[in-house]
Amino acid sequence: MKHLYKVKNLKKTFGRGEGKTDVLKGIDFKIRKGEIVTILGPSGSGKSTLLHILGGLDTADDGTVFYKGRDITVMNKKERMLYRRNEVGFVFQFYNLLGDLTAKENIESCAYLSGDPMDLEEIMETLELSEHQNKFPRQLSGGQQQRVAFGRALVKKSGVLLCDEPTGALDYKRAKEILLLLERINRTYGTTLIIVTHNENIKDMAHHVIKLRDGVIAEDYKNRELKRAKDINW
């Protein structure tokens, strides 16, 4: 399977009449398995809308989105729910951790979603959470909380991680830690990463860069040489 996603003529409009906004106006692209992809573009250009459709959180008005050869735009609610549950890991800005569960239990509670989850010890180690595993979210730093959120997304062996502004609310040091973590996840597990961001610098560590402008693709290219996450500065 060369391409994980094949998107064709994707369209999405919000509202009607005078309040109508054509957010995606016919978008085409392909994403290969194992790629780090950044989706860039000005505020309001449709980045999050696109990410939500790729993740089965929202539906398209027109066009097709093939994931591993299956068109997710024709799935019914139940099929979409299974697609989200079995295939996609979400890392959005609000970490959605369960306050009454420890770091480890937060991750464990997502493991049951998969018949073949990742080894919990391994994931705690990869995310450098081993020594914090018995702490509750309120006892963790922002960066540690976000690593738990990554753990929740990863433990079910998602084929793809969708990240909406993963460094958005973080200071430089923490944002850098997240970039290192994203790189490690991609290299260790071969996970495809689709990252919506305002941080243009992240594009240098991505295999594939997609830029949206006014609901169409303004640029779509592959980087010949990748920067390592440690060398991304801003």
Ligand X SMILES: Nc1ncnc2c1ncn2[C@@H]1O[C@H](COP(=O)(O)OP(=O)(O)OP(=O)(O)O)[C@@H](O)[C@H]1O
Residues that bind ligand X (CB under 6 A): 14-15, 21, 23, 41, 43-49
Closest to ligand X by CB, 23 or 178: 23
In the complex with ligand X, the residue whose CB is nearer, 21 or 188, is 21
**Gap between the Cα atoms of 146 and 96, Å rounded:** 10
Smallest gap from residue 103 Cβ to ligand X (A) = 28
Query: Which two three-digit tokens encode residue 231?
Result: 């060398």
Least distance between ligand X and beta carbon 17 (Å): 13
CB nearer to ligand X: pick between 43 and 233: 43
CB of 106 to ligand X, least distance (A): 26
The token pair at 147 is 């690593």
Distance between CA 75 and CA 70 in Å, rounded?
Answer: 9
Q: How far is the CB of 179 from ligand X (least distance, A)?
A: 19
User: CA–CA separation, 46 vs 33, rounded Å?
Assistant: 23
Q: Nearest 5°: phi and psi at 81?
A: -65, -40
User: Please, what is the minimum distance in Å from the beta carbon of residue 105 to ligand X?
Assistant: 32
Query: Closer to ligand X at the Cβ: 27 or 107?
Result: 27
Q: With respect to ligand X, which residue has the nearer C-beta, 45 or 144? A: 45
Tokens of residue 119, six digits: 């080894």
Closest to 149 measured CA to CA, from 198, 89, 193, 206: 89
Phi, psi torsion values for 209, nearest 5 degrees? -120, 130
